[in-house]
Amino acid sequence: MTDLPAFLDSTRPDVPDLAVPRGITPFYLPRQPVRGRLVRLGPLANTLLTRHDHAVPVRTLMGEALALAAALASALKFTGSFSVQARSDGPVSLLIADCTDAGALRGYARVDKTAELPPDATAGQLLGKGYLAFTVDQGLDREPQQGIVSLEGDSLADMAEHYFDLSEQFPCKVYLAAAETPAGWRAAALVVERIAGSGGLPTDASAEAQEESWRTAVILADTVTPEELLDDSLPPERLLYRLFHGEGVAVDRPRPLRFGCRCSRAKLGGILEGFPQDDLDHMAVEGDIIMTCEFCNYDFHFSRESVTGKPGAAS
């Protein structure tokens, strides 16, 4: 700890400085009205998913959520953060995966520690009934944009597709995978979207021809396996060529992903400064107040004397 007031101490926690340079690979089919993103977290998945001591099904769900957040965020033009959030009555009552426009990823799952989870529990079993929200937050001066849908389906991919089915957007197919491999935890996503117009088809292509092109792309994407999505030795370009070579797949410039918890002593210290003195006294244990970042699972220690609290409150 330093001698600075808590709200001025910008010290970052001792968390990994890890980036995956080719985390997101955008692609499109030049002769079809189709585009997509292949997301692979690589070793970043292991770093993110092992910050908490969750059961395997929960880590699997969290890995899929992180890959989904990265895939959907990379399709948007925004400055700020995009989050996938599920609130439910299941053993995992809260699930959050958050990705910034720069590719900084973080995630959190609130789990009922008393619940007995089958080793092969699905997303539907873990979440139960509730809602799924997609949110774009561009800062204090902009209203967040949010879409909400009920949790429908047994997998997180099903739940995401349910949102797109109801959102009056163009069709979208989502493929998610997360598992522990010999190299550690890995997570990946393949998202395929139909785009407006005829795409690479002739400008006078009929609606039927456009729909047939989309169906073909989905049939090809359906052949992807979790093992292929998670295989570090299979380059993204090669996997996409394997899936779509008959359609002349083209790859855009890859984008990085990185460990992206945004906590700091200053941020948490600022929160503490808003509490009355009496509350701060009750929080202190042996002279210290401990605040834990739920995303990176790091404990911040503040000496009681370093936190001023609300002015005018009794000490």
Phi, psi of 183 (to 5 degrees): -90, 0
Residue segments in the chain with a per-residue pLDDT below the cut of 50: 1, 6-7, 312-315
Rounded to an integer, what distance in angstroms lies between the CA atom of residue 126 and that of residue 61? Answer: 9
- Say what the pLDDT of residue 281 is: 86
* 156 within 8 A of 64, measured Cβ to Cβ: yes
How far apart are alpha carbons 78 and 38 in whole angstroms?
Answer: 20
Measured between alpha carbons, how far is 2 from 298 in angstroms, rounded to an integer? 17
The residues spanned by each domain of the chain are: 20-259, 263-306
Q: Are the CB atoms for 149 and 171 separated by under 8 Å?
A: no
CATH of domain 20-259: 3.55.30.10
Provide the pLDDT for residue 203.
57
Report the pLDDT value the prediction gives residue 75, as an integer from 0 to 100: 92
Which backbone phi and psi does 207 adopt, to 5 degrees?
A: -60, -35
Position 226 scores a pLDDT of 98
Contact 308, 273 (CB under 8 A): yes
Q: Does domain 263-306 have CATH number 3.90.1280.10?
A: yes
The residue behind tokens 């001792």 is 14
Q: What is the pLDDT of residue 314?
A: 42
The C-alpha atoms of residue 67 and residue 175 are separated, in whole angstroms, by 10
pLDDT, position 204: 53
> How high is the pLDDT of residue 315?
38
Which amino acid, residue 143?
A: E
The pLDDT value recorded for residue 245 is: 93
- Amino acid identity of residue 238, one-letter, is R
Whether 263-306 and 20-259 are alike in CATH topology: the answer is no
